[in-house]
Amino acid sequence: MIFTFYSYKGGVGRSMALANVAEFMYLAGLKVLIVDWDLEAPGLERYFSDDVEEVLDNPGVIEMLLTYKDEMSLFGPESNKEFLYPDIHDYTIQLHKDDIGETGELWLLPAGQRDNEEQFSEYSKQITNFNWKRFYDRWEGARYFEQLQKQFNDFDVVLIDSRTGVTEIGGVCTYQLADVVVMLCASNNQNLEGSLEMAKRFSSPTVTKLRQGRELKTLVIPARVEQSSEIIRLNEFRQRFIDNFSKFIPQESQLNDRQFFQEHEIPYVGLYAFEEMIVFNQAEKRVPQLERAYLILIQELKNFAPEKHPLSKLPDNLISSLPLLPTDILKEAATARQQLGMREQELAELRRKLAKAKRDHTRTQFTERRELDTHEANLTQAKAGTDEELATAEHTLALTRLAMNQKVSSAEQMLAEQQDEVSDKLAEIERELFQAKTTLTATKSELQAEQKRLVSMQATLEQTQTELSTSQSETASVTSQLGELKGQHDMTVTDLEQKLTVAKIALNKTQDELGERNNLIREYGKIFKVYWFIISIAVITELALLYYLYYLK
């Protein structure tokens, strides 16, 4: 049977209730496993102070999950082999080793290694980085927990301490693993409302479908209930509790709603608020009402067990059969010495039953040992025939691993080459981009220089046009002077020749200047060449005409 202890909020005494239930079942002779699945706030080992250091150094739940992931990554989910699943016994640790043989067995599967600062830091990283959704989707999480359930069958009772609230971790402990969810609820509105929503979810058809038709039973227990004061508020809380959770009362119960919850209340006891303690181990600090509450809870868990289950063999009335502690035995012995023969006869009868039980136990041990010897002999014979097959399998496995390592090395080398090639191409592209940027910059500079040169040429052209206009004005002035010369009758031929010579010199000079300007204009465009040519011809023609007219006269 797997019981998950859950609470919507912390601080309700969930871990303490689980530890006390586990301790009593162990004292009653059952083989009990407690699982600290509250990975984000572990510490269940603190209730068993004699074994704390050894437990903290022992690998636990998180290491078991990571080992499974490592095996899956090596062999793959398609292998579907049993050896993929870590053996839970490699991660559990036995508590109360000194009492072995006198009672049952109490085993603990801790959350993980946290014995020193380095281990605790590593543990924190593992918990933070563990992705539960990916574990289900990529690593066949559902199948793993099915196998874990099968390993839980090695124990009579498994008690899981779950994470509070609505979490993926809590979902694993409740939806998939648990046969019964024991929900503890404190006396405030947050607990009442949150616990009601979770109880509805646990009993919903969706959860039943996820569990492949297995009903998830829920037992709701009022916890840390202050009973010594505020009676009116206490009664109000009890009524709200009944209104919320009456439909979750087991059908087998013979009590009405109020009687059931009032009987199952776990009271708040200040003495146990400062230290993790087991109530059944306290000789000097016994609190009968707390012992009674835990015994009633155990009685209720017993009712969930099938008929032939070891848990169902507990006494029907646990309160009357509460095991006496060593101090109590001494007190009862002192009282027994003062009693009459009836008490002595009862003691003798108990001794006879104990002797018979020891003889039966010895006989059973002898039978089991003989069966074990036979089994070992058969196993030795079978092992002799399988050693060769095992060696062959190991050799094949070694070759497979070598091949896988070679493939991994080849893939890594190929990846490195591809990375180098990509880096070279990237460097080449960067160089080409730099060259293109440099060329673009140079082109921009040349374009700017060309623009400046064009502006300068335009200014020179404008200046040339101005000088041409000035030359035309000078030509007109010369023409005017020649006209005046025509009208002067008293001017001698010598004077005219001198003036004509001066005019020719000026004209030649003007023509030279016009030729130089024409050459400059020719560089700027055909249009200016034609324009300058026409003007030059016109000027020469006009001067020639004037010269011709002058000599004719």
| Of 308, 338, 368, the domain-final residue | 338
Asked whether the beta carbons of 309 and 25 are under 8 A apart, the reply is no
Question: What pLDDT was estimated at residue 329?
Answer: 42
Please count the structural domains in the chain: 2
| Of 271, 303, 338, the domain-final residue | 338
Asked whether the beta carbons of 161 and 14 are under 8 A apart, the reply is yes
Q: Which two tokens stand for residue 400?
A: 């497979």
**Together in a domain, 321 and 465:** no
Question: What pLDDT was estimated at residue 2?
Answer: 94
Question: What pLDDT was estimated at residue 341?
Answer: 45
Asked whether the beta carbons of 192 and 240 are under 8 A apart, the reply is yes
The residue whose two tokens read 């400062």 is 274
Question: What pLDDT was estimated at residue 35?
Answer: 95
**Together in a domain, 333 and 456:** no
Cβ partners under 8 Å of residue 29, min gap 6: 103, 104
Cβ partners under 8 Å of residue 145, min gap 6: 172, 176, 177
Q: Is 426 among the domain residues? A: no
Q: Reduced to 3 states, what is the DSSP secondary structure of residue 220?
A: strand
- Alpha carbon distance 373, 377 (integer Å): 6
The residue whose two tokens read 């146990």 is 272
Q: Is 42 among the domain residues? A: yes
DSSP state, residue 264: T
Q: Is 394 among the domain residues? A: no
Q: Is 415 among the domain residues? A: no
Question: What pLDDT was estimated at residue 335?
Answer: 46
Q: Is 372 among the domain residues? A: no
Sign, CA torsion 199/201/202/205: positive
- Alpha carbon distance 79, 64 (integer Å): 19
- Alpha carbon distance 143, 136 (integer Å): 9
- Cα–Cα nearest to 33, from 109, 144, 146, 145: 109
| Of 289, 308, 338, the domain-final residue | 338
Q: Is 406 among the domain residues? A: no
DSSP state, residue 275: S
Q: Reduced to 3 states, what is the DSSP secondary structure of residue 307?
A: coil
Please state the pTM of the whole predicted model: 0.58
Q: Which two tokens stand for residue 100?
A: 């072995």
CA distances to 54, 147, 169, 528 from 207, in Å? 38, 20, 16, 98
- Alpha carbon distance 111, 60 (integer Å): 5
Cβ partners under 8 Å of residue 89, min gap 6: 154
The residue whose two tokens read 């002192």 is 334
Q: Is 298 among the domain residues? A: yes
Q: Is 352 among the domain residues? A: no
- Alpha carbon distance 316, 313 (integer Å): 8
Question: What pLDDT was estimated at residue 356?
Answer: 66
Please report, in angstroms and rounded to a whole number, the separation of the first and last CA atoms in the chain.
150
**Together in a domain, 63 and 211:** yes
Asked whether the beta carbons of 322 and 295 are under 8 A apart, the reply is yes
Task: pLDDT tens for the chain, 553 residues: list them.
Answer: 999 999 999 889 999 999 999 999 998 889 999 999 988 888 888 888 666 788 888 899 999 999 888 888 776 655 556 667 888 999 999 888 776 555 789 999 999 988 888 888 899 999 889 888 888 888 888 888 888 989 999 999 999 998 888 876 667 778 888 899 999 999 888 999 999 999 898 888 888 888 888 888 999 999 988 877 678 888 888 899 988 888 888 877 777 888 888 888 898 888 877 777 888 776 666 778 888 899 999 988 998 988 889 898 888 777 665 544 444 443 443 344 345 445 555 665 676 677 667 666 666 765 666 677 677 777 777 666 666 666 676 677 677 667 676 776 776 677 677 677 766 776 777 777 777 677 767 776 776 777 677 667 767 767 777 777 776 677 677 667 766 766 665 556 676 677 777 767 777 777 777 777 666 666 666 665 666 678 878 888 878 888 778 776 5
Q: Which helix (H) or strand (E) holds 181?
A: strand 180-185
Structural domain including 202 reads 2-338
With residues binned 3-state (H G I as helix, E B as strand, rest as coil), the percentages for the chain, rounded to 5, are 70, 5, 25
- Alpha carbon distance 497, 475 (integer Å): 18
Question: What pLDDT was estimated at residue 220?
Answer: 93
Asked whether the beta carbons of 219 and 257 are under 8 A apart, the reply is no
Q: Which two tokens stand for residue 303?
A: 């009712």
**Together in a domain, 334 and 456:** no
User: One-letter amino acid identity for 304?
Assistant: F
Question: What pLDDT was estimated at residue 57?
Answer: 85
- Cα–Cα nearest to 7, from 200, 172, 196: 196
Q: What radius of gyration, in Å, describes the C-alpha atoms of the chain?
A: 54
**Together in a domain, 334 and 461:** no
User: One-letter amino acid identity for 368?
Assistant: E
CATH number of the CATH domain containing 53: 3.40.50.300
- 485: buried, middle or exposed (CB in 10 Å: 19+, 13-18, 0-12)? middle
Question: What pLDDT was estimated at residue 502?
Answer: 74
- Strands 2-6 and 157-161, how do they pair? parallel
Asked whether the beta carbons of 536 and 518 are under 8 A apart, the reply is yes
- Cα–Cα nearest to 6, from 232, 166, 149: 166
